[in-house]
Structure 1
Amino acid sequence: MVTPFIRNHQYNVIKKQAGLLQQACQTVSDPKVVESVRYSAQHKISEAFPEATELQKQQLDQISTLKTTEDFQQYLQALEPYLTDFGQVTGKQLNKLFPKIKKLKIPDLSEIDYRRTTYLGWVDIAVNKMFLVYPLNGQFMGIEGRFTPMNKGVCFLCNRHEELALFTAVTKTKPANASSDYYKAIGNYVCVDSHVCNKNITDVTVLEKFIREVTGYSAS
């Protein structure tokens, strides 16, 4: 029985490191350099799975034996069944996450590959708003914010150079002695196309920090 344990951003780490190693195997003649890249790839993949079991580590560590294009393809394909599901969401759930939006524009949920999704994001151009949904500690959290298109730059979530928008959300977190009219907005540059961002993202630390800052969520 297959037990999924690889989240989308972790699979992106694996793909990235496999790609670097494959390139080294095909273009570098010095075996010491290739072995250095191989060690680095194995180490970075291991770092992305701090809670992996011994069996899971063995599956991931097979990257240390790959040499040919076919080897790399088979390695990635063999890991696909272990991809975890983002968690299927319904239109009703999304409406509950954004109760103040009377006519929430919902993306076509049937077209989403939930195994290749780290966060669900979409834009409603009509009201200049961007929406973001993420399962933080097993609980879906929703953030809405102002959407301001920008030029190309580096996304704060996936750290890749893409078409960006300034996503500005009002935080619900207030200092202890804040007045009733306290207001603070947090802005970050994020990919306009969340599908592209989900293909690139390799770490959720910044994403989770942003959600906590905006929502005031605390695991305790």
Structure 2
Amino acid sequence: MNQPFIRNHQYNLIKKQTGLLKNACSNVSDPKVVESVRYSAQSKMIEAFPDATELQQQLLEKIATLHTAEQFQHYLESLEPYLAEFPQITGKQLNKLFPKIKKMKQPDLTALDYRHLTYLGWVDIATNKLFLVYPLNGKFVGIEGRFTPTNKGVCFLCNRHEDVALFSAITKHRPAKASPDYYKAIGNYVCVDSEVCNKNITDVTALEKFVREVTGYEEI
């Protein structure tokens, strides 16, 4: 039985590296250049799975044997059974994450493909707020913030050039000697469409850093 171990952002990275190698095999005539791309792709994939078992690493290393478009496509399809789903979450759990928000607009949880979800994000147009939910160290964390659409820009989560908005959240972390009215807002440009962002994101470092900064938790 296949044991899922590939998270969405890791699968996106695999698709990206597979695409680069596929392009090199199709369009580059110099064998040395192709092998350089092949080595780079394999190395970046292995680095993304520091805790991989021997069998999992062997599965990832199969990218080194691919040459044709059909092989690349089959390889990606063969990895789908190993995709680890985003933890199931209920509407009741969402309400508990945002207890101060009355009559909160919720996303359609039944329409989500949890295999291709790194974080859950949705916008409430009526209040100009973005809600973000992420499972950090096994516990759901919810962040809400002001959502101000701008123009095209680079999303701090997926690092791609997309339609972005300024997402500004007030941190819950307070310095030891802070005054009672102290507050600090942390702002970043994020994709307007979280579905697009989830298809692009290849690393959760920035996301987890943001979650910790806003929540004030070093470890959850």
TM-score range, shorter chain: over 0.9
Give the AA of the match of 2:155: C
TM-score, normalised to structure 1, is: 0.99
What SS is found at the alignment partner of 1:62? helix
Residue of structure 2 equivalent to 1:45: 45
Question: Gapped runs of 5+ residues in structure 2?
Answer: none
Residue of structure 2 equivalent to 1:178: 178
Per-residue deviation, 1:196: 0.2
Residue of structure 2 equivalent to 1:168: 168
Paired with 1:48 and 1:181, the residues of 2 have a C-alpha distance of 42
Per-residue deviation, 1:89: 0.8
Give the AA of the match of 1:23: N
Residue of structure 2 equivalent to 1:113: 113
Paired with 2:63 and 2:122, the residues of 1 have a C-alpha distance of 35
Give the AA of the match of 2:213: E
Give the AA of the match of 1:203: D
Per-residue deviation, 1:100: 0.4
Paired with 1:125 and 1:98, the residues of 2 have a C-alpha distance of 17
Provide the alpha-carbon RMSD of the alignment: 0.7
Give the AA of the match of 2:177: N
> What is the CA deviation profile of residues 18-60 of structure 1, one whole-angstrom value per residue up to 9, with x for unaligned ones?
0000000000011111000000000000111111111000000
TM alignment of 1:34-183, pairs within 5 A: 34-183=34-183
- % identical aligned pairs: 76
What SS is found at the alignment partner of 1:80? helix
Paired with 2:212 and 2:29, the residues of 1 have a C-alpha distance of 48
Paired with 1:213 and 1:158, the residues of 2 have a C-alpha distance of 18
| Equivalent pairs, count | 220
Paired with 1:138 and 1:81, the residues of 2 have a C-alpha distance of 22
Residue of structure 1 equivalent to 2:197: 197
Residue of structure 1 equivalent to 2:31: 31
Paired with 1:183 and 1:6, the residues of 2 have a C-alpha distance of 38
Give the AA of the match of 1:68: T
Paired with 1:164 and 1:37, the residues of 2 have a C-alpha distance of 31
Per-residue deviation, 1:176: 1.1
Paired with 1:85 and 1:19, the residues of 2 have a C-alpha distance of 23
Give the AA of the match of 1:88: Q
> What is the CA deviation profile of residues 97-135 of structure 1, one whole-angstrom value per residue up to 9, with x for unaligned ones?
000000110011111000100000000010010000000
TM-score, normalised to structure 2, is: 0.99
